[in-house]
Amino acid sequence: MNAARKLTYRDALREAMREAMQRDGRVFVMGEDVGRYGGTYAVTKGLLEEFGAERVRDTPLSELAFVGTGIGAALGGMRPIVEVMTVNFSLLALDQIVNNAATIRHMSGGQFSIPLVIRMTTGAGRQLAAQHSHSLEGWYAHVPGIKVLAPATVEDARGMLWPALEDPDPVLIFEHAQLFGVTAEVSEGAVVDIRHAKVAREGANVTLITYGGMLPKALQAAQELVADGIEAEVIDLRVLRPLDSESFLASVRKTRRAVVIDEGWRSGSLSAEISARIMEQAFFDLDAPVARVCSEEVPIPYPKHLEDAALPQVDKIVAAARALFGAAAQ
Amino acid sequence: MSRGIASYGREFCLRLVRNMLRIRRMEERCAQLYGEGKIRGFLHLYIGEEAVATGVMANLRAEDAVVATYREHGHALLRGISMNAIMAEMFGKREGCSRGRGGSMHLFDAATRFYGGNAIVGGGLPIALGLALAHRLQSIRPVTACVFGEGAIAEGVFHESMNLAALWQLPVLFCCENNLYAMGTALARSESQTDLAKKASSYNMTSASVDGMDVLAVYETAKSASAYVRETGKPYFLELQTYRFRAHSMFDPELYRDKAEVEEWKKRGPIHNFTQQLKRAGLMSEEDFLAIDHEVLAEVEASVAFAEAGQWEPVEDLTRDVYTEAT
Ligand SMILES: Cc1ncc(C[n+]2csc(CCOP(=O)(O)OP(=O)(O)O)c2C)c(N)n1
């Protein structure tokens, strides 16, 4: 196999775009401040210099208009990568995403497909308060017609873009703001799929099911549970729509216990969907009710201590997992 | 300026100096505090643009309403929110004007009718329309001042709001702070028509453009604009041409503009130029200036001490204020 290299999550995303643009002349990048500014999170830095302003397009502050333009360009034969600064701002483009991107294939009787990739930042943790910190990927995962990816690792940051561009349907990629600086080794030319969840850590006693920015916290919780004699298996969902139920059901059938960790709010969340599927399909394999660790039901507050309190944290995950073993393990 | 500076009187002019300095010194301190980690999140400084808020806010009355953006420290301060409450908010303390829940970008204050710092570009415009409509329906005559950057003009919501305000004749004073850049995007790279007053005329809205680096020019233009809104009940679009001296936020390496350009604009610094004019006209001495500055710096230090001494909201109260009634 090819040699492994160390990369940050941010660099991996950039490399993936650069490679896609080199490989396919139809690929171009469009969004607010992707060019001259270098990208809000510096993901697109340097691409303008390399590919020019035709293929790295700075847009006005017009989420609705430029996301819609991406849809039209995809319909017209291009392979656009649209960057929306954060998921909160994508709400200004919700109409285009939900009413057009997700529906046109179906409404046209399968005549038109929309090979569009929309990337955006999600998640809290940087004290950016209630209009820049939310995790709304679960909402998008509700909508048939789009696919929703959540790269939690550098490998997926590097590898998910190309299959997303090859996919004939609109794909939304959610990049958690806390992950940009994460560094890891990736092997050159590693190929990843965008269909399956992945076992991020093997274990026999409880399954921690999570995705995106919560994966590092779940892995750390698994580490801490070892002291209690609990071996946790950690499932990285990777793909939020369509959900790969088989992966987490197989794990839960083995461990007989599950904790779902989701940075979205609990009510009406992705975690609720996962928990329901476990209940529907693995109820008799369970030794304890499914537990959930989600964000508190509050717009994310600004002060650090309140923001921390609002989010799923390692200690909450550990406590939720322990509680599934009854008094003996506590 | 048609009117001679002396006709404004010494007291009025010194108040303008003081107000601009209050914003400047407060924000310079904020930048330091950001470096110390006391203020976190996004922090957008108004340094260089002080004449705009100073000239506009001086024309508002207590009954008026204000809607602003994330670059709103100066507007909030001159609207009458205490520097203490603003500073405590930036620290995230419960003594802050938003109980610490909002931070720098979300200053709110019911007492002064300050309807927020909004961090969605263009997000405040429809709110201003709604306030103005409410005033109309209640047959009261306040002006709603809606402050936003020129970047918002690219948003669909700007056009929808301009149209509706003009169509329904809503008493909104649209204050477009044109500082030439939306983050790193220069106006000309964002707009097909860079003469912003023309945008207003396409909606049949009266408009004016003014040099936003000249506090008296801003004051005069905002005076007639606000009087127009107050008297006719119709909207007005005011373009304030200005420049931000600092980075967009604390995360911006400023790759998109030349240092020389920034230096050119700094020569037009609103505080420096106005104080020079006042000195030339014999309305203010260097000692006067230093005395004001001294008092302002003391106000700033007191606000920092106030914020430091403030309390953290207990974590048990995390979910308070999500609904009016606790659930
Ligand atoms: C809907 C939306 N899109 C993007 C952003 C990110 N953003 C924050 S400030 C800003 C620039 C806005 O520029 P302008 O309106 O001119 O105001 P200025 O910052 O210059 O005062 C951008 C793009 C946002 N906050 N909201």
Ligand 1 pocket check for B215: Cβ under 6 Å: no
What pLDDT was estimated at residue B1? 47
Ligand 1 pocket check for B227: Cβ under 6 Å: no
Report whether pLDDT(A19) > 80.
yes
Q: Which single residue is written with the structure tokens 């590898």?
A: A159
Closest chain A C-alpha to B272 CA, distance in angstroms: 30
Cβ pair B49, B244 in contact under 8 A: yes
| Burial class for A29, CB neighbours closer than 10 Å (0-12, 13-18, 19+) | buried
Selected residues 74-113 of chain B with any CB under 8 Å from a CB in chain A: 91-93, 100-103, 105-106
- Per-residue pLDDT tens for B64-104? 999 999 999 999 999 999 999 999 999 999 999 999 999 99
What pLDDT was estimated at residue A330? 43
The verdict on residue B81 lying in a domain is yes
- Per-residue pLDDT tens for A230-259? 999 999 999 999 999 999 999 999 999 999
Over its C-alpha atoms, chain B yields an Rg (Å, rounded) of 19
Are B322 and A299 a contacting pair at CB < 8 A?
A: yes
Question: pLDDT band at B33, cuts 50/70/90?
Answer: very high
Classified as helix, coil or strand, A3 is coil
The pTM is what? 0.89
For position B79, which CATH number holds?
3.40.50.970
Question: pLDDT band at A189, cuts 50/70/90?
Answer: confident
Element spanning B31, H or E: helix B10-35
Question: pLDDT band at A188, cuts 50/70/90?
Answer: confident
Give me the mean pLDDT over the A167-187 stretch.
Answer: 97
Tell me which of A32, A56, A61, A313 to substitute to probe the interface with B (most B C-beta atoms closer than 10 Å): A61
Cβ pair A188, A5 in contact under 8 A: yes
DSSP summary character for residue B80: T
Structural domain count of chain B = 1
In sequence order, what are the residues at sequence separation of 6 or more whose Cβ sits closer than 8 angstroms to the Cβ of residue A294?
A: A260, A261, A262, A263, A264, A265, A266, A269, A271, A312
CB atoms within 10 A of CB A195: 12
Provide the number of CB pairs (under 8 Å) joining chain A to chain B: 120
ipTM for this model:
0.80
Structural domains of chain A ordered from first start = 7-187 (3.40.50.970), 198-329 (3.40.50.920)
Q: Please confirm whether the linkage preceding A60 is cis (ω < 30° from 0).
A: no
**Average pLDDT score, chain B:** 96
What pLDDT was estimated at residue B14? 98
The verdict on residue B315 lying in a domain is no
The verdict on residue B326 lying in a domain is no
What pLDDT was estimated at residue A110? 87
Question: pLDDT band at B326, cuts 50/70/90?
Answer: low
Chain B contact set for A310 (CB, 8 A): 318
Reference B262, options B204, B207, B317, B181; nearest CA is: B181
Amino acid occupying residue B29: R
* B137 C-alpha to ligand 1 centroid (Å): 32
Are A302 and B106 a contacting pair at CB < 8 A?
A: yes
Reference B185, options A37, A167, A120; nearest CA is: A37
> Within chain A, where are the H helices?
9-23, 47-51, 63-75, 87-90, 94, 104-107, 137-140, 154-159, 161-166, 215-225, 245-255, 270-282, 304-310, 314-323
What pLDDT was estimated at residue A327? 55
CB atoms within 10 A of CB B42: 21
Report whether pLDDT(B321) > 80.
yes
The verdict on residue B185 lying in a domain is yes
Whole-angstrom distance, CA of residue B310 vs CA of residue A49: 48
The verdict on residue B319 lying in a domain is no
Beta bridge partners of A57: A30
User: Read out DSSP for A88-129?
Assistant: HHHGGGHIIIIIIITTHHHHTTTS-----EEEEEE---SS-G
Q: Is the dihedral of CA B10, B15, B16, B20 positive or negative?
A: positive
What pLDDT was estimated at residue A277? 98
Whole-angstrom distance, CA of residue A207 vs CA of residue A205: 7
What pLDDT was estimated at residue B251? 87
Cβ pair A176, A213 in contact under 8 A: yes
- Written as six digits, the tokens of B141 are 């005559």
Domain with B99, as residue range(s), is 5-306
* B295 C-alpha to ligand 1 centroid (Å): 34
- What totals of helices (H) and strands (E) does chain B contain, helices first? 11, 8
From residue B206, alpha-carbon distances to A44, B51, B67, B266 in Å are 41, 22, 20, 31
Whole-angstrom distance, CA of residue B18 vs CA of residue A117: 51
Strands B65-69 and A239-241: unpaired
User: Read out DSSP for B103-155?
Assistant: -TT---BTTTTEEEEE-STTTTHHHHHHHHHHHHHTT----EEEEEEGGGGGS
Q: Is the dihedral of CA B313, B314, B317, B319 positive or negative?
A: positive
Whole-angstrom distance, CA of residue A200 vs CA of residue B18: 60
Tell me which of B87, B95, B108, B121 to substitute to probe the interface with A (most A C-beta atoms closer than 10 Å): B121
What pLDDT was estimated at residue A190? 82
Classified as helix, coil or strand, B93 is coil
Q: Which single residue is written with the structure tokens 């003594």?
A: B95
Reference A194, options A146, A160, A223; nearest CA is: A160
Ligand 1 pocket check for B186: Cβ under 6 Å: no
From residue B166, alpha-carbon distances to A93, B131, B267 in Å are 25, 15, 38
Ligand 1 pocket check for B183: Cβ under 6 Å: yes
The verdict on residue B324 lying in a domain is no
